[in-house]
Amino acid sequence: MASTPLPWREACWRFTRRWLYLVHRWAGIAGCLLIAMWFLSGLVMMYVAFPALTDTERHAGLPPLDLPGVRITPDAAMASAGLTRFPRSLRLEMMGAHPVYRMIDWNGKPYTISARDAARIEQVDAAAAQAIAHRFSGAAGARWVETAERDQWTVPNGLNPWRPLHRIALDDAAGSELYVSARTGEVMRDTNRAERFWNWLGAVPHWLYFTPVRADPPLWRQVVLWTSGACIAVAVSGIWIGWLRLRVRRRFAHGSAGGTSPYHGWMAWHHVAGLAASLFLLAWLASGWLSVNPNQWFPGRAFAQPALERYAGETLPRFPAGDGTALASLLSDTTLPPREIRLAWQAGVPVMLVATAATTHAYHANTGAPLALSAQTLAQAAAQLMPDATVAGHDLLHEDDAYWYSHHQPRKLPVLRVRFDDDCATWAYIDPDTGNLLGRSDRSRRAYRWLFHAAHSWDFGWLVRHRPAWDATVWLLSLAGLVVSVSGVVIGWRRLFRGRRRRA
């Protein structure tokens, strides 16, 4: 007697459910391995960041500025570099024992000009790099190791204009190494043995920052998008299956976890923990997918060049400060020898940002007096950032808020927030002490703050301000994610091993 065919809806549902189980089972093996790795490496990243040379470290390492040795004015240095516009960055510092002007134009190209004779410095050999590293670190054992385009600790593409890089080992107890640009002689990065070790367990696997992949930015973005996207699919299918197999009122006869799950052992852990942590896990994976800004949905955090030049109030390559004698006279009241002098136009005013080993102070370049720009003056200058909008108001923030807060990196406080009435509700953040434009925010960036930073790092205000509470929260959530992913790995491994035994 022929069997009665199933209604088409039931047949379609059975087919869909079968493939749902198959996809989750086999894709979940690799997916759970990745998810477990991401949680473990994320815990390491809470305490060890990817190697980078901070401004504080750079200022501490730079030798005191030899102002008497500065015989060239900023205007002459910019002319020697061939600049036709005031550069994005202009600073005076030491290159070993040699005072130099360092500039970055609006295309991101760096220039180094001797402050003694205006000669362009375009190549720094290994011996010179070793001497620079010795003066920067004070380590007697500084020695050249290699010159390379990139290695594991110099993969970020922001270093591209300064490549190749000389790697200098300091032979100290910490196993420190410095990277010196072969083009400009700048110390670009520092690492130590502990940083390198922990980053192999932290940022490198978490960001998929393996040199061959990260060296190709489009490839790296696609790898991150597809791996995290596949893991999202695994999580969604797992949550769906978990709900299908859940019983609350009608319990399984031999179920575990109080009868709500039909599984035992590792399967029960995977089922129950997966449901309990489902929303967190899905939000965490989705926010990781958003970290590379797919399709450029979210705009950048900086204003474009025309807006920055309007705010500066000057585009020509000129600056009123003179040579080292004039600079020494202007800075005669400073008590500590400067390590760096950054020259900039802020709100139409020529400003010298003088950094010592510990602090940075702003001075008016015409008079040498401490800079004093009122909030009203800065807000009026900020209006030039968006000439098609008007300033809706400005606030001087003395404490962190939901969008300007310190977490792994400190934020400048107080900070002036200038609000515009444009369609995107743009905000500009300005340092009231120096006039530096610190950042830009709009509705899209503020949405990204919640979709990525909050969902991925849990950097909510109260938790961030009470760091032990934040640590405990992230550890607890990560352990829940590890229970789900590790149990999935064990289940998958057992299934693969059992299948292999049956074939044998």
Rounded to whole angstroms, how far apart are CA atoms 117 and 382?
37
Domain chopping of the chain, boundaries = 55-199
Rounded to whole angstroms, how far apart are CA atoms 155 and 179?
12
Is it the case that residue 369 has pLDDT exceeding 60? Answer: yes
Kindly state the tokens that stand for 371: 């800079």
Runs of H (alpha helix) within 249-344: 265-276, 278-290, 305-312, 324-330
Q: What is the per-residue pLDDT for 437?
A: 95
Strand (E) positions, 310-380?
340-346, 349-355, 360-364
169 strand-pairing partners: 143, 177
Reference 311, options 248, 387, 375; nearest CA is 387
Omega prior to 414 cis, within 30 of 0: yes
Backbone angles phi, psi at 327, to 5 degrees: -65, -40
Is it the case that residue 182 has pLDDT exceeding 90? Answer: yes
Q: Which residues of 209-224 are buried (b: 16+ CB within 10 A; e: fewer)?
A: beeebbeeeeebeebb
Q: What is the pLDDT of residues 229-261, one digit of tens each?
A: 999 988 888 888 888 777 655 555 555 544 567
Rounded to whole angstroms, how far apart are CA atoms 54 and 272?
44
Is it the case that residue 379 has pLDDT exceeding 50? Answer: yes
Could you tell me the strand order of the sheet in which 427-430 lies? 391-397, 415-420, 427-430, 437-441
pLDDT above 70: percentage of residues in the chain: 93
Is it the case that residue 495 has pLDDT exceeding 80? Answer: no
Q: At what angle do helices 8-45 and 467-503 cross, to 10 degrees?
A: 130
DSSP state of 153: T
- What do you get for the CA distance between the two ends of the chain, in Å? 39
Q: What is the per-residue pLDDT for 334?
A: 67
Rounded to whole angstroms, how far apart are CA atoms 375 and 371?
13
Q: What is the pLDDT of residues 196-224, one digit of tens each?
A: 999 999 999 999 999 999 999 999 999 99
Is it the case that residue 12 has pLDDT exceeding 90? Answer: no
CB 100 within 8 A of CB 62: no
Specify the pTM.
0.89
Between residues 32 and 502, which one has the greater pLDDT? 32
How many Cβ atoms are within 10 Å of 201's Cβ, its own excluded?
16
Coil/strand/helix, residue 364 = strand
CB under 8 Å to 169, separation ≥6 — which residues? Answer: 141, 142, 143, 145, 175, 176, 177
Between residues 147 and 32, which one has the greater pLDDT? 147
CB 203 within 8 A of CB 209: yes
